Chain A
Amino acid sequence: MNAASARSPTRTEMLRIPCPWCGERDEIEFRYRGDATVQRPPPDAAMEAYVAYVYARDNPHGWHLEWWLHTGGCRRLLKVVRHTLTHEIREVLAPEQWPQEPGESQVP
């Protein structure tokens, strides 16, 4: 564990993430691993594809597909459908799964 990962266990965290393996857990147990909508291009893809994969990100006002690694639990990588405005978590999936088309957030 490095200094940056020494997050206080008493910090008031915002999210409660329902891990399919461990149950509902505090955000503090997870490490955010970024945008899960981007996929690594094949090795022979054009440079532009790699540049987009590494640097180009949408900043959606609404539903977002995110990677969360449950470092404080099962160490599984989860795909989480989260609403960036309301923080509602709609679906938690395995890495290979893709979410259904989400509708409106149920939370104001």
Chain B
Amino acid sequence: MSGPTRISGGLLTDPGRPIAFSFDGRALRGLYGDTLASALLAAGERVVGRSFKYHRRRGILTCGAGEPCALVDLISAQGREPNQPATVLELYEGLSAVSQNRWPSLRFDVLAINDLLSRFLPAGFYYKTFMFPGWAWERIYEPLIRRAAGLGELAALVPPHAAPAETVHSHADVLVVGAGAAGLTAARALGGCGLRVILADQDVIAGGGTLLDERWHAWRENCIASLAALPSVRTLTRTSVVGAYGHGVFGALETLAPHDPQRGGGLRERLHVIRARRVLLATGAAERLIAFPGNDLPGVMLAGAALAYLRRYGVAVGARPALFTNCDEGYEALLALRAAGLECAGIVDPRDASPAAARARALGIEVYPGAVVTAVTGRAGVEAVTLARRDGSGVRTLVADCLLMSGGFSPLTALATQMGATSEWREDLAAFVAHLPARTGAQAGALRGTSGLAAAAADGLAAAQALASGFGLPPLIEAAPPLPADPERAAPLALWEVRGNGKAFVDLQNDVTAEDVRLAAREGYEHVEHMKRYTTHGMATDQGRSGGLVGSAVLAAARGVPVAEVGLSRPRPYTEPVPFAALAGGEVREHYRPRRRLPLHEWHAAAGATFVSTGLWLRPLVYAPPGGGWEPVLTEARAVRTQVGITDVSTLGKIDVQGPEAAQFLDFLYANTFSTLPVGRARYGIMLREDGMMFDDGTTSRLGPEHFLVTTTTANATAVLEHMEFQLQANCPQLRVALADVTDQWAQFAIAGPSAREVLQSALPDNDVSASGFPFMAAGAVAIAGIAARLFRISFSGELAYELAVPARHALLAWETLLRAGEAHGIRPYGLDALNTLRIEKGHVTGAELNGNTSADDLGFQRMLKKNGDFIGRRLAQRPGMLAPERLQLVGVRPSDQARRLRNGTQLVSPAAPDASLGYVTSSTPSVALGGWVGLALVAGGRARIGSRLTGSAPLSGESTQIEIVSPHMFDAENARVRA
């Protein structure tokens, strides 16, 4: 017998429930409770992937998150997901996975030639080689490299109605991260005194290291039962805390099972946003690899992983294991496999003696002290292990089908570091621990460097005591049963690398060797962060969990400094891969952002409107199906110019301003004056930013001596309100003014066209809307269909027009009343496109011209700036550069040849200097009043060019058009129609 096999029942597997799955198209069987990795091992599979760069055969290194090699593409009804660690992927009936980085097949991979060419593929190879010519990078090199490298393949088949993930928000007094001996003890103690505790662990069940020691099973079960009985404690398994964001905010990713209706119900992930008053980190420690030649051969595995496969899944990772370790913890796996009846090839330990070695010898296992592994040989997996004494003497070879390695344990300090911890080198652990002030967060267990489960549990209790007293609670009484004793252990030896012939990897996922690290140091990338980026060491899905410190140690040796001086590269969120789908949660497609619908949305939809998103609003663009071209738009616009039209302008921002000093406040806010505005009148106003640029425009009406209604553009509604609130509270706190956003409270419609007055008079029989009774810029209360409403005689279209505002709940009644009143006059609704056509003809500006770079003078509003009194933007609008005649100024543009069209963005140039842009077209439309196309443009010194011609150049469409520069007020410049 050779290779891995299942030898007994594991803690998690159910021998009575076989599960069928497929790997690379082959049908295999595992057990319920298996991971894909344990099922593959139980099926005797050792090679599960090819490596990223050299395409070397790779097996399974770990038994959990942080697996660098055994990554697969998972294929399901929901798509194809790459980079799934087989070591955490729970087996389910029908699971289908394929290996990565191989072509055409896992057993025969063409690109394995890279391994033979590796002397030409050093670190930084891509940067050094694919440099010239510059254009070739994008067109040739990068596509080729991507095909050759690649980490799996992504294809989403998520059904259009379903969100694959959800987000939940949770609050806790204490978040405990990690449910090992320390975390479990602490959570039980804290929950026992009534604190709200969230205990999160990435494993499928709580227990951590206690799952691997039978003596602890009763304790663990008892602990989990007590936690379940505590109402204030929530235990989240399969949940990784992936980021610490300060102020007690943490992100955690819970993995669900979409195929299992009991757990997931179709959802893949749940993102928890946890807000905790305190945090206790008990994340444990991760086993390290040792960099020796051939340490990536399938069959070389972390010792702790071998122990986990045996205890959890009943899988022996080999028939004749050998062990290479520098620490006593590493021995546990081989001792357990020996106890399970396996023949052991021997133990290679660079130390001279230790309590663990004595235990091994007592079980009849050969221990080679003071020795290191110098080579591992085998074609598709480990067949023999060569060892030698540290001085190179005593070379011998052991026959073994797997080699367990343990280079010591590194505390998992990523979260602590994200929270601002400093790190300290601990010689006794040969690792860094994190220092976190108690105020920020507490740590316990192996994360702090304790050794053994009993020590971790005691440390967890102490941490809980400190936290409870911080909450002002009395000391805890833990009536715990006596804990199983920790074995006596000697300190590890800081052994990182065995140099010899062949590649010794420090990062198996990115194919980074110890030699690559030395090369980086030689080429000047001496800082650990520079080395990381040059070699890619510690990047990608495993974040260098097994080899991060080893790389730092190799770098330290190359630089001739202690490891403590080199440190670890800085971990940032996320500590584990987080799918974008999990971050998006339910906010996908139509739920991507809030959508605001008009009060009359249903009416517009029933009338056949095509909607357009403007900000968050959905507005009717045109009352015609999409793609209908200009004709439906121009028909609507023509109705306004010749008869009458009605449009929904409810999206305009509406801000109610009241108070004794309301007028004074508006005078400060606007560049023009409002204190002189009589009650019952409206006035157009412009608002500047403090830097003198145009911010927004709109009409403001005075409804009472101390009551104004400000309207803003749709796009700036939120920004203007915040600006007003800020200015009021920061710069005008002495003014008695109250602001209220009433945008949603009022629906507002514009009725425009030569027949608008007749329509209004018919709809408002009790009010006088005649030219004298309700003159241009009048504003006042009216009644429509018995509803109190507001009428404003203002015009954006350039026609005789009114805007009628009604409380939003009466929108439909008012709208239909107006339509009935207009029936005899041929009234028709018009959308945003027609409104745009009308306002361009009239020369009114919108967001295209109020683009943040235009001053009041640029847009022809300089005369509106009041001469007396302070206002926002007054001072900086006076800067000479703001008034320079060569600035881009608003003009109208028309093609000399009426058959030619205009395009937004067309550059305007002088025929004499066609390469120098003088400006560009901001808005354009076919005209209904003037024939041909008309547009607005910003042109250098534009007002002085009125009457001249420029060339409109659109290189992308290859168009060149002669353009007449005209006044922006192309239609009814005298305002005769508006004032009619």
Contact = CB atoms under 8 A, between A and B. Distances in A.
B691 interface: yes
A99 to B, nearest CB: 16
Contacts of B237: none
B247 A1 contact: no
Interface in B264-312: 271, 273, 275
Contact of A77 (B248, B616, B691, B730): B730
A22 to B, nearest CB: 15
B133 to A, nearest CB: 41
B471 interface: no
B726 A3 contact: no
Interface string B427-458: 00000000011011000000000000000000
Nearest to B167: A10
Given A12-B243, A43-B870, A3 B616 contact: yes
A108 B419 CA distance: 8
Given A2-B718, A67-B726, A10 B587 contact: yes
A16 B715 contact: no
Interface stretch (B201-209, B627-635, B778-786, B874-882): B874-882
Contacts of B169: 10
A22 B325 CA distance: 58
Contact of A75 (B436, B691, B725, B878): B725
A77 B726 contact: yes
Contact of A107 (B439, B731, B733): B439
B10 interface: no
A2 B245 contact: no
B796 to A, nearest CB: 20
A30 to B, nearest CB: 11
B719 interface: yes
A95 B730 CA distance: 6
A40 B690 CA distance: 10
Interface in A1-35: 1-3, 5-6, 8, 10, 12-16, 26, 31, 33
B733 A96 contact: yes
B10 to A, nearest CB: 36
Contacts of A96: 733
Contact of A95 (B594, B690, B722, B733): B733
Contacts of B275: 16, 26
Interface in B542-587: 585-587
A98 interface: no
Contacts of A106: 437, 439
Nearest to A3: B615
A12 B731 contact: no
Contact of B420 (A41, A54, A69, A108): A108
A87 interface: yes
Given A8-B587, A12-B273, A43-B870, A1 B596 contact: yes
B690 A54 contact: yes
B975 interface: no
A78 B623 CA distance: 46
B722 A51 contact: no
Given A1-B615, A2-B616, A16-B248, A54 B722 contact: no
B413 to A, nearest CB: 13
Contacts of B596: 1
A1 B614 CA distance: 11
Nearest to A47: B875
Q: Is the interface of A mostly helix, strand, loop or mixed?
A: loop
Interface string B715-740: 11111001001100111010000000
B593 interface: yes
A33 B593 contact: no
Given A12-B251, A107-B439, A87 B246 contact: yes
Contacts of A5: 718
Q: Is the interface of B mostly helix, strand, loop or mixed?
A: loop
Interface residues of B, number: 47
B729 A77 contact: yes
B498 interface: no
Given A12-B251, A71-B722, A77-B725, A51 B876 contact: yes
A12 B725 contact: no
B876 A6 contact: no
A76 B876 CA distance: 28
A92 B733 CA distance: 18
Contacts of A45: 875
A56 to B, nearest CB: 12
B399 interface: no
Interface string B502-537: 000000000000000000000000000000000000
Contact of B437 (A15, A26, A107): A107
B369 to A, nearest CB: 43
B876 A87 contact: no
Contacts of B243: 12
B420 A15 contact: no
A2 B690 contact: no
A95 B725 CA distance: 12
A53 B722 CA distance: 19
A2 B593 CA distance: 11
Contacts of B616: 1-3, 6
Nearest to B726: A33
A2 B715 contact: yes
Interface in B210-230: none
Interface in A43-76: 43, 45, 47, 50-51, 53-55, 67, 69, 71, 75-76
A35 B251 CA distance: 29
B784 to A, nearest CB: 29
B880 to A, nearest CB: 10
Given A16-B249, A71-B722, A6 B593 contact: yes
Given A1-B718, A47-B879, A15 B615 contact: no
A6 B594 contact: yes
B196 to A, nearest CB: 16
B660 to A, nearest CB: 20
Interface in B717-769: 717-719, 722, 725-726, 729-731, 733
B593 A107 contact: no
A86 interface: yes
B551 to A, nearest CB: 26
Contacts of A87: 246-247
Given A10-B271, A12-B243, A106-B439, A54 B691 contact: yes
B730 A67 contact: yes
A36 B436 CA distance: 31
Contacts of A51: 876
Nearest to A79: B730
Contacts of A55: 691
A81 B731 CA distance: 19
Nearest to A70: B725
A33 B273 CA distance: 26
Contacts of B717: 1-2
B245 A95 contact: no
Contacts of B875: 41, 43, 45, 47, 50
Given A1-B596, A16-B275, A86-B420, A108 B437 contact: yes
Interface of A: 1-3, 5-6, 8, 10, 12-16, 26, 31, 33, 36, 40-41, 43, 45, 47, 50-51, 53-55, 67, 69, 71, 75-77, 86-87, 89, 95-96, 106-108
Per CB-CB distance, the 10 closest pairs between chain A and chain B, nearest first, are A77-B729, A43-B870, A10-B167, A16-B247, A6-B593, A108-B420, A50-B875, A2-B615, A87-B246, A12-B251
Given A8-B587, A12-B245, A108-B420, 15 more contacts: A2-B615, A2-B715, A5-B718, A12-B243, A12-B273, A13-B249, A14-B249, A15-B247, A26-B249, A33-B730, A43-B870, A53-B690, A54-B876, A75-B725, A107-B439
Interface of B: 167, 169, 243, 245-249, 251, 271, 273, 275, 420-422, 436-437, 439-440, 585-587, 593-594, 596, 615-616, 690-691, 715-719, 722, 725-726, 729-731, 733, 870, 874-876, 878-879
11 contacts: A8-B593, A26-B249, A36-B730, A43-B875, A53-B690, A55-B691, A69-B725, A95-B730, A108-B422, A108-B436, A108-B440
